Every structure is written in structure tokens, then in C-alpha cells.
Amino acid sequence: MAAPDLIVPIFPLPDVTFFPHTLLPLHVFEARYRVLVIDALERDRRLAVVRLKPGYEATYAGKPEVHAVAGLGEIVSCERLATGRYNILLRGECRVRLGQELPSDTLYRLVRARRLADPEPAGDVTAALSRMRAACKDLLGALGRPADLLDTALAEGQPAGAIADRVAAAVLPDADLRQRLLETIDVGARVTTVADAVERLVKELKGGRE
């Protein structure tokens, strides 16, 4: 039986991708999103962070277009500032596919959404995970960062999809690639894409020093 649709408030942002299994700090200053935070805290503390599509500037105050896949998360920490703004910390729970936007009298937008669970990998992802771990080690070395910086993200015993999500969130700067990875439900393809991307970063860094 398919999981029932959720009704979630959305927090659209430019070039922000919110992956499951990661933490996302946000400074909330717009009036409509301050209200969203207040309402979310009174409900289930959940909201979806979704990336705005290009050209959003012209309709930003209204309802600009957003990507179809977003990250659903829970507010696990919230600080209300003297200015009325908020510092919040979100913990990513899952991907969601956004559907129908609902009529609402709130300042923010409400959307029907469906959870997107990671399926079991169709094949063996061991080799791709090994490449990812090796590339991350090389990347940290090339950047002069501590060798254990990504130990939590790369730790054994967690699902392959979670490792790929955490590494993508931590080291991949390309916003379009990050969005594609968020939309990649096939775990094997996601792991391979992240491994390839980290290897490219290492080559670019080393090439720039030669």
C-alpha cells in the first residue's frame, strides 16, 4: 500500500539542496517564513526545503516555480532572536516529490507531497563506495583539511544512499548536480555519480597546482 500524501509547508531557496541524513542551519528573516516556523513548531516541526527554479527573481514575492523534489526535515533546534528572526536547525528525513499546491490563507505555501524512500541497490555498490572513500581522502589531502573530517559521513554500517547524500551535502559545490542527486532515487546511480564527482574535484584541484 502506498504511503498517504503529506501536506507540508515549503521553504523555497535559491541554490540550496537539503539532503536526507544531513543537518541544515537556516537564518529565517522574511515575515512569511517566520510565520512558517511558528506554525511548524506548533504542528509536527516539519517543513520541506526546495530549490527555486531559474528566473525566480521576477516572482519571488509571489509563487515562483520550484523543483519537483525537495528535502523534508524536522526542526531540531530553534532560537528566536530579539529582532523576531529565527535561527533553526533542520534534520533531513527523506526526499519528497511535491504535487498539488493547496489554497491557503497563510503567508507561506502548502503543498501535497509524497515520500520517496531509497530502494535497495539493484547491484553491488561496494566498488563505487570504495572509490568515493578514496576520492574523499584525496580531496581532504588536496585541501589541507583534517583527514578525519568526513569520517561520520563515510562511516561503515550505514545505507549506501545515506553515505552518498552526506558526501554530496558536504563537498559538492555544483547546485545543479546537487539537485540532480536529490532527484536520483536509484541508489547505485547516486553513489556512482557522487564518486565520479569527487574524483573530478580532486583532479581539478591537483591540475590547478601543476
What is the amino acid identity at position 195? A
Let me know whether 21 and 75 are in one domain.
yes
**pLDDT single digits (tens) 23-57:** 999 999 999 999 999 999 999 999 999 999 988 88
Let me know whether 57 and 136 are in one domain.
no
Let me know whether 188 and 93 are in one domain.
no
Q: What is the CATH number of the domain that holds 46?
A: 2.30.130.40
Helix ranges (DSSP H) in the chain: 31-42, 126-143, 151-154, 160-171, 175-182, 187-209
Let me know whether 158 and 201 are in one domain.
yes
Give the domain range for residue 194. Answer: 126-209
Let me know whether 143 and 88 are in one domain.
no
| Closest among 37, 7, 17, 3 to 99, alpha carbons compared | 7
Residue 102 located in a structural domain:
yes
Residue 1 located in a structural domain:
no
Domain count, the chain: 2
1 has a pLDDT exceeding 90? no
Let me know whether 78 and 141 are in one domain.
no
Residue 2: pLDDT band (50, 70, 90) is low
100, HSE (Cβ side, Cα atoms, 13 Å): 5
In angstroms, the CA 3 to CA 114 distance is 7
Let me know whether 139 and 106 are in one domain.
no
- pLDDT of the residue at 51: 97
Let me know whether 107 and 31 are in one domain.
yes
Residue 195 located in a structural domain:
yes
Q: Of 98, 116, 134, which residue is a domain's last?
A: 116
**pLDDT single digits (tens) 157-172:** 999 999 999 999 999 9
Residue 138: pLDDT band (50, 70, 90) is very high
**pLDDT single digits (tens) 97-117:** 999 999 988 889 999 999 999
